[in-house]
């Protein structure tokens, strides 16, 4: 049984840690074709992608980074350990665009205060799955992302991804989307005598 399957058997309320389950098939233009969504935090979802084993990715359609899809952990066990360190997925997902100082300030701030219900979920994960918090969550995620970006560009996207970003489709087909054209604007210059 995988760590993800063991986690699912706990039947905890994942929304307290940013892993709200969903039975819907909602995806975004940037959701990889072979993604299996494992949880949601607002508009961000977390997934496994076929061909990348148990690696956990974030999919963020409103990214502040240059990427809409990026890895967070080599496996689900490490992903849970990151959550135990940070209290939820929020800080973990933001590492891609933060400095270490920004990360540490957020993790210790009132914005990241742990609610009692959240702590209960964290305690259940820790005790039931026998996991300990990650020692250096920032360094771990940065290392995963650097190694992934240096050797891998094989994530498959739908044609909608390329069309939305105005990129050429890798399969060579043409988009049926028409570029948005602004209507012509005319100006009338009025000069008044002084």
Predicted pLDDT at 55 = 95
Nearest Cα neighbor of 75 from 14, 5, 156, 4 is 4
Render pLDDT for 82-132 as a digit per residue (tens, 0 to 9). Answer: 999 999 999 999 999 999 999 999 999 999 999 999 999 999 999 999 999
Evaluate if residue 177 carries a pLDDT over 90: no
What is the bridge-based pairing of β-strands 35-41 and 44-49? antiparallel
For the chain, the residue count is 194
184 domain residue, yes or no: no
Residue 186 lies in a domain: no
Domain with 61, as residue range(s), is 3-164
Mean pLDDT of 145-150: 82
In a domain, 150, yes or no: yes
Please report whether residue 110 resides in a domain. yes
Number of domains in the chain: 1
> What pLDDT is attached to residue 98?
94
In the chain, pLDDT over 90 holds for what percent of residues?
63
Tell me which of 132 and 172 has the higher pLDDT: 132
What is the structure's pLDDT at 26?
A: 79
DSSP state of 165: T
Contacts of 139 (CB under 8 A, 6+ apart): 100
Contacts of residue 164, Cβ cutoff 8 Å, sequence gap at least 6: 29, 30
Q: Is residue 75 part of a domain?
A: yes
| 73: in domain | yes
Supply the pLDDT for residue 5: 95
Residue 187 lies in a domain: no
In which band, very low, low, confident or very high, does the pLDDT at 170 lie, cut at 50, 70 and 90? confident
pLDDT given at position 62: 86
**Is 118 inside any structural domain?**
yes
């Amino acid at each position: 049984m995988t760590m993800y399957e063991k986690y699912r058997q706990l039947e905890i309320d994942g929304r307290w840690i940013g892993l709200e389950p969903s039975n819907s098939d909602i995806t975004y233009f940037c959701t990889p074709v072979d993604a299996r969504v494992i949880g949601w935090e607002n508009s961000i979802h977390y997934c496994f992608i076929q061909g990348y084993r148990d690696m956990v990715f974030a999919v963020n359609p409103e990214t502040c980074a240059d990427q809409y899809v990026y890895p967070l952990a080599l496996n689900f066990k490490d992903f849970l350990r990151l959550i135990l360190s940070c209290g939820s997925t929020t800080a973990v997902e933001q590492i891609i665009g933060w400095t270490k100082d920004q990360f540490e300030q957020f993790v210790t701030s009132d914005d990241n205060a742990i609610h009692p219900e959240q702590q209960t979920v964290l305690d259940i994960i820790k005790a039931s799955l026998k996991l300990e918090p990650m020692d250096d969550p920032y360094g771990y995620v940065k290392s995963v992302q650097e190694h992934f970006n240096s050797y891998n560009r094989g994530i498959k996207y739908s044609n909608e991804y390329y069309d939305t970003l105005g990129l050429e489709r890798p399969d060579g087909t043409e988009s049926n989307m028409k570029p948005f054209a602004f209507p012509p604007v005319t100006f009338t210059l009025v000069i008044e005598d002084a």
